[in-house]
């Protein structure tokens, strides 16, 4: 007999392939999934092209980006010992966003499908490096957050400036849409660019899982348990920069997943910050895939941006959090 | 998994500066197996800082620390964690883990031993906390949480145990139980170092006393040697007396000096 927490996790795990199938059949054009699958990768039939070149990479990207955001959020909350932390606090998202915006501003994004995401990942790493250096030697969690807030504020100011002086309405629209986050028109190029970074980040965070566990006792106790020095915090920061930076680079800024998902998963893994990593990756993947299915099936004049969908999921979550806190439950 | 059963720790000419303030000055002392040592002194004397240096949480500005004659710089952080366990003065759990899961964190330096659950249960039993093994730590009272944290300290196999004011927040029954526990650990060959405020408990259970004052080591020796009204009175600024009865000391503070 499975315990309730494990049962829900098993359900989430089972739901992921079902959601994947749902994502593959979703779209404006009905596709015969069985035929398209059997025709294979190289087939020229329209069904196969839609499936293999459009829907599959998009669905896989949703899974990958969601997993990176969920895992990054879990690591961030674990490292800062704060349930309200999210990866964006470290400037990862705004670093990636600013790099992308500059490219859109100068209208260079069309040069190559690789250029924008590659530069955005570079931007994410630069922002985290700035935060790390600003926080200084032996920085405590609160000093890291403070440095993150400072760098974030500066990057946001630069982004506002870029929007303010956008060369054309078209560039401005592109920037705003990019900031809202989207998985539309993403293909294998973006997926293959993001995969190594997200995997590398995931491996780093997984290696730091015992550090995050020890940190639930506080920094001094973690140090006495053998997690001393700059190595472990650096590992977590690099992991977040790599995974979340790559996710933002290919999909734009998608908020709330990194904040909400670890919160929801924590009771299911008995509050263990180590197991929270992979369970948040799983739930983040599922959440973003479902959100993207909603986006695909939403019929309107304008494409619905996935960042707007996750924000709509995030806001009620906080209402629920406040209500349960008022009932005297633990935050 | 090989762990040395006995461990001698020495601090050699230790000095610690934090924000241009001298916290510890020129402290040399050593801690031996089978010995229960109490570090005592007024607030701000440097007790916690000395314990933090010994546990590897702080690095001394000058001087160095040896474990079994080996300088700590030569020992990896993980190995050092297997040699010494440390409980800070205050430790607030960030997440609402169950008591048993919090205690299990004390086994992190040893990976995931097969008999993990048995050891956790045994450690909880030691501090009389088995009845709330499955309760979230955020729902425990201050004293109950302290006992669970002590179980976390005792669950591993570290031959050197360091605890900062372990008796604070405990009721008298659990204070006695705890000191008896530490006494048994020392009798079994562990090296135990505690920071204590209760001089009666220190005199009754400890083999050796380190008296700190203003970052300096004022005296060290047996309780009988250190706990004299003149010395304690001078360091704490109170007039006091020690009433010894069958090896049990009663410390009675009389008035401010």
What are the tens digits of pLDDT across the range B236-257?
999 988 888 877 778 888 888 7
**Is residue B150, in this structure, part of any structural domain at all?**
yes
Sign for the pseudo-dihedral over CA of B62, B68, B70, B72: negative
How many other C-beta atoms can be found within 10 angstroms of the C-beta atom of residue A294?
15
List the CATH number of the domain containing B172: 3.40.50.300
Residue A331 has pLDDT above 60, yes or no: no
Domain that holds residue B239: 9-256
The answer to whether the Cβ–Cβ distance between B138 and A223 falls below 8 Å is no
Among all residues of chain B, which has the CA nearest to that of A274? B105
Cβ count within 10 A of residue B104: 23
**Would you say residue B2 lies in a domain?**
no
Q: What is the pLDDT of residue A328?
A: 64
Residue B204 burial (CB count, 10 A):
17
User: Residue A82: phi, psi to the nearest 5?
Assistant: -140, 120
Number of domains in chain B: 1
> CA-to-CA distance for A35 and A30, rounded, in angstroms?
12
- Interval B55-70: pLDDT, tens: 988 889 988 899 988 8
Contact B180, B226 (CB under 8 A): no
- The verdict on a CB contact (< 8 Å) between B91 and A221 is yes
Report the candidate in A243, A266, A277 with the shortest Cα–Cα distance to residue A330: A266
Do B111 and B94 meet the contact criterion of CB atoms below 8 Å apart? no
The nearest alpha carbon in chain B to A213 belongs to B105
Q: Measuring CA to CA, how many Å separate B177 from each of A291, B174, B184, B200?
A: 56, 5, 10, 15
Query: Does some domain include residue B4?
Result: no
pLDDT tens-place string over residues B70-79: 888 899 999 9
Q: How far is B138 from chain A (nearest CA, A)?
A: 8
Closest by CA to A227, choosing from A209, A239, A206, is A209
Query: For chain A, what are the domain ranges?
Result: 61-326
What residues of chain A lie within 8 A of the CB of B87, using their CB? 221
Residue for token digits 């030569």? B74
pLDDT tens per residue, range A107-117: 777 677 778 88
A225: chain B residues, CB-CB within 8 Å: 81, 105-106, 108-109
Residue B1: pLDDT over 50: no
Confidence of residue B4 (pLDDT cuts 50, 70, 90): low
A207-244 confidence digits (pLDDT tens): 999 999 999 999 899 999 999 878 898 899 999 999 99
Count other C-beta atoms under 10 Å from residue A192's C-beta. 11
Strand blocks (E) in chain B: 9-18, 21-31, 36-40, 62-67, 70-71, 84-87, 160-164, 191-195, 208-213, 216-221, 238-245, 248-256
Q: Is the CB of B81 less than 8 angstroms away from the CB of A221?
A: no
Question: What CATH code is assigned to A61-326?
Answer: 1.10.3470.10
Q: How many CB pairs under 8 A join A and B?
A: 80
- A82: closest chain B residue by CA: B94
Partners of B216 in the β-ladder: B213
Q: Does A229 lie at the interface with B, CB-CB under 8 angstroms? A: yes
**Sign of the alpha-carbon torsion through B72, B73, B78, B81:** positive
pLDDT in tens, A83-96: 888 888 888 889 99
Q: What percent of chain A has pLDDT over 90?
A: 45
């Amino acid at each position: 007999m499975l315990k309730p927490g494990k049962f829900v996790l098993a359900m989430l795990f089972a739901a992921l392939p079902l959601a994947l199938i749902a994502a593959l059949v979703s779209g404006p054009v009905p596709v015969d999934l069985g035929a398209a699958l059997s025709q294979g990768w190289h087939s020229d039939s329209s069904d196969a092209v839609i499936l293999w070149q459009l829907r599959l990479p998009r669905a896989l990207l949703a899974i990958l980006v969601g997993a990176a955001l969920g895992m990054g959020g879990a690591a961030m909350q674990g490292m800062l010992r704060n349930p309200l932390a999210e990866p964006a606090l470290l400037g990862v998202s705004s670093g990636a966003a600013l790099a992308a915006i500059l490219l859109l501003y100068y209208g260079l994004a069309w040069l190559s499908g690789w250029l924008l995401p590659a530069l955005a990942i570079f931007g994410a790493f630069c922002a985290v490096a700035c935060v790390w250096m600003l926080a200084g030697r032996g920085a405590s969690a609160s000093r890291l957050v403070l440095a993150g807030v400072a760098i974030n504020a500066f990057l946001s100011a630069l982004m506002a400036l870029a929007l303010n002086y956008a060369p054309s309405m078209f560039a401005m629209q592109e920037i705003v849409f990019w900031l809202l986050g989207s998985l539309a028109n993403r293909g294998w190029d973006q997926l293959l660019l993001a995969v190594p970074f997200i995997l590398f980040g995931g491996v780093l965070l997984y290696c730091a899982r015992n550090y995050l566990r020890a940190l639930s006792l506080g920094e001094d106790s973690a140090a006495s348990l053998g997690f001393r020095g700059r190595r472990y915090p650096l590992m977590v920061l690099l992991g977040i920069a790599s995974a979340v930076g790559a996710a933002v680079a290919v999909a734009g800024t998608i908020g709330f997943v990194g904040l909400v998902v670890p919160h929801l998963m924590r009771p299911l893994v008995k509050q263990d910050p180590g197991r929270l990593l992979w369970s948040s990756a799983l739930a983040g993947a599922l959440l973003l895939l479902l959100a993207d299915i909603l986006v695909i099936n939403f019929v309107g004049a304008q494409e619905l941006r996935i960042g707007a969908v996750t924000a709509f999921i995030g806001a009620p979550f906080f209402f629920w959090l406040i209500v349960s806190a008022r009932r005297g439950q633990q935050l | 998994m090989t762990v040395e059963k006995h461990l001698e720790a020495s601090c050699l000419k230790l000095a610690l500066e934090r924000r241009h303030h001298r916290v510890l000055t020129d402290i040399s002392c050593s801690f031996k197996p089978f010995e229960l040592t109490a570090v005592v002194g007024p607030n701000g004397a440097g007790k916690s800082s000395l314990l933090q240096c010994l546990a590897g949480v702080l690095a001394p500005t000058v001087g160095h620390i040896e474990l079994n004659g080996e300088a700590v710089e030569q020992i990896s952080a993980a190995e050092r964690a297997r040699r010494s366990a440390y409980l800070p003065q205050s430790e607030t759990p960030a997440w609402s883990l169950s008591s048993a899961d919090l205690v299990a964190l004390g086994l992190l330096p040893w990976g995931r031993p097969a008999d993990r659950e048995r050891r956790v249960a045994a450690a909880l039993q030691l501090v009389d906390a088995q009845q709330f093994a499955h309760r979230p730590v955020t729902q425990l009272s201050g004293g109950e949480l302290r006992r669970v944290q002590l179980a976390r300290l005792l669950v591993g196999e570290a031959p050197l145990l360091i605890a900062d004011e372990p008796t604070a927040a405990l009721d008298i029954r659990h204070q006695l139980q705890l000191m008896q526990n530490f006494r048994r650990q020392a009798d079994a060959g562990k090296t135990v170092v505690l920071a204590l405020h209760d001089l009666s408990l220190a005199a009754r259970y400890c083999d050796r006393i380190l008296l700190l004052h203003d970052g300096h080591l004022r005296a060290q020796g047996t309780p009988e040697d250190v706990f004299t009204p003149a010395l304690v009175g001078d360091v704490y600024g109170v007039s006091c007396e020690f009433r010894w009865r069958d090896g049990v000391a009663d410390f009675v503070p009389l008035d401010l000096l």
